[in-house]
């Protein structure tokens, strides 16, 4: 037995069809921990994969007792996987990492050293550039960050990755947010604590391909906006106010015109345009309200965020 107990770092790894990446990831991670004065607890979350992810993870767990796994009953999404992993984590520190080696394990050393100084509660990473990403995707990503930071009081950092190392108190704070519609980039920022950012160059996936299609990203960004801002809800009121003002002015103008020049036949085309415009604005506003309502509806159902099918962790009955 060591006299001085070294820290335990829990590594949470959401995996969706990552069977091909996991062995390389595991080797790299254990190599890095071999050079560190800390013990690892590796928690793989099999997010309803249809490949051999669970098999690969289980065989790792057989030879390494520090490897834990949670296997979901179906695909619940990366957010649910991160939550499950953080809930299961017991380390003094916890990190979230992708299984595809895009989040270099070697950085952990630097992150841990920085955290140990006790100044920060979290060391987070962001991409230095958007190199290697399709132009159109970068454009929309930038637009998203611009919009959300304008209309939300929670700061969402452009290019932030989910890769971060946190202290136990920050993890507990993150876990205390029990919302169903989870948007981690917002949650990590909302809980506060002192975060230090380090940038690194974007690296390509080691194997497999990205699980994010453009439409998945678009929906995710809308979720993010709705989870951290209610400004879209006020858009309806603003439109309503503007159109009321315009209507008052128009009424005055029309009444005056009628009194002075009589009542010629009103213009049908202009009338149609106004009707279309106003119904459009109304439907749009109702749509926005409907989106928030549907989120509220899902929250009030209090459904579990994920369902575990199999795990080697005790006390994980959810």
Q: Are 113 and 36 in contact (CB under 8 A)?
A: no
Q: For 93, left (φ over 0), alpha (ψ -120 to 50), or beta?
A: beta
Is residue 216 classed as helix, strand or coil in its secondary structure? helix
**Least CB distance from residue 96 to Mg ion, whole Å?**
12
CB of 102 to Mg ion, least distance (A): 4
Nearer to ligand UDP, 28 or 92 (CB): 28
263-292 positions binding ligand UDP, by CB under 6 A: none
Instruction: Give SS3 for 123.
Output: strand
Stretch that binds ligand UDP, among 11-19, 151-159, 195-203, 260-268 (CB under 6 A): 11-19
Residue of the chain from 8, 59, 102, 149 that contacts Mg ion (CB under 5 A)? 102
> String of b and e for 256-269 (b: at least 16 CB within 10 Å)?
eeeeeeeeeeeeee
Q: How is residue 153 written in tokens?
A: 């009081």
Applying CB under 5 A, among 46, 87, 98, 162 the residue interacting with Mg ion is 98
CA atoms within a 13 Å half-sphere pointing along the CA-CB vector of 123:
21
> What is the smallest separation between the CB atom of 16 and ligand UDP, expressed in angstroms?
3
Tokens of residue 203, six digits: 């690296």
Binds ligand UDP by CB under 6 A, chosen from 41, 54, 71, 77: 77
Q: Which stretch binds Mg ion (CB under 5 A): 102-110, 173-181, 275-283, 299-307?
A: 102-110
- Rg for the chain (alpha carbons), in Å? 25
Options 82-90, 98-106, 149-157, 266-274: segment touching Mg ion (CB under 5 A)? 98-106
Residue 211 binds: one of Mg ion, ligand UDP, none (C-beta under 5 to 8 A by kind): ligand UDP
Tell me which of 41, 46, 79, 100 binds Mg ion, using CB under 5 A: 100
Considering only residues 102 to 141 of the shown chain, the ones binding ligand UDP according to CB under 6 A are: 102
Verify binding: residue 210, ligand UDP, rule CB under 6 A: yes
Nearer to ligand UDP, 22 or 148 (CB): 22
Measured from each CB, the residue nearest to Mg ion is 102
Q: How many of the chain's residues bind ligand UDP (CB under 6 A)?
A: 16
Q: Shortest approach of ligand UDP to residue 24 CB, angstroms? A: 13
Does 41 contact ligand UDP by CB under 6 A? no
What are the residues whose beta carbons fall under 8 Å from the beta carbon of 169, sequence distance 6 or more? 121, 193
Choosing from 10, 11, 18, 221, the residue that interacts with ligand UDP (CB under 6 A) is 18
Cβ-based nearer residue to ligand UDP, 26 or 120? 26
* Least CB distance to ligand UDP at residue 114 (A): 23
What would the two tokens of residue 279 be?
């119904």
Strand-pairing partners, residue 310, are 71
Residue 282 in contact with Mg ion, rule: CB under 5 A: no
Q: Cα separation of 95 and 29, whole Å?
A: 12
Spatial distance between the Cα atoms of 164 and 167, rounded to a whole number of angstroms: 10
Instruction: Specify which residues 122 forms β-bridges with.
Output: 166, 195
Query: How many Å apart are CA 104 and CA 163, to the nearest integer?
Result: 9
Strand 195-200 and strand 38-46: pairing? Answer: unpaired
Angle 152-155-156 from CA coordinates, rounded to 5°: 100
Residues that bind ligand UDP in the complex, under the rule CB under 6 A:
14-16, 18, 47, 75, 77-78, 81, 98-100, 102, 210-212
Residues that bind Mg ion in the complex, under the rule CB under 5 A:
98, 100, 102
């Amino acid at each position: 037995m060591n006299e001085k107990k070294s820290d335990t770092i829990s590594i949470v790894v959401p995996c969706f069809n990552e069977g091909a990446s996991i062995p390389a990831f595991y080797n790299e991670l254990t190599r890095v921990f071999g050079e560190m004065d800390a013990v690892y607890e590796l928690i793989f979350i099999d997010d309803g994969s249809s490949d051999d992810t669970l098999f690969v993870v289980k065989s790792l767990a057989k030879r390494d007792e520090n490897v834990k796994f949670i296997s979901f009953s179906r695909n619940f999404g990366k957010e649910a996987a991160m939550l499950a992993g953080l809930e299961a984590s017991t380390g003094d520190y916890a990190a979230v990492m992708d299984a595809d080696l895009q989040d270099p394990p070697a950085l952990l050393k630097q992150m841990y050293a920085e955290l140990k100084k006790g100044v920060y509660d979290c060391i987070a990473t962001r991409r230095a550039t958007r190199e290697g990403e399709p132009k159109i995707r970068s454009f929309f990503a930038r637009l998203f960050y611009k919009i959300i930071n304008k209309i939300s009081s929670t700061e969402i950092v452009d290019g932030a990755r989910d890769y971060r190392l946190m202290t136990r108190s920050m993890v507990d704070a993150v876990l205390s947010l029990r919302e169903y519609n989870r948007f981690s980039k917002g949650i990590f920022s909302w809980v506060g604590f002192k975060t230090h950012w380090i940038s690194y160059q974007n690296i390509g996936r080691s194997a497999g391909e990205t699980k994010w299609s453009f439409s998945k990203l678009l929906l995710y960004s809308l979720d993010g906006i709705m989870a951290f801002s209610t400004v879209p809800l006020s858009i309806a009121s603003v439109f309503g106010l503007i159109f009321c003002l315009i209507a008052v002015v128009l009424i005055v103008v029309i009444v005056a015109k009628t009194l002075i020049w009589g009542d010629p036949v009103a213009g049908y085309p202009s009338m149609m345009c106004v009707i279309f415009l106003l119904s459009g604005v109304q439907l749009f506003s109702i749509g926005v309200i409907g989106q928030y309502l549907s989120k509220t509806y899902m929250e009030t159902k209090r459904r579990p965020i994920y369902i575990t099918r199999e795990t080697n962790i005790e006390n994980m009955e959810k």
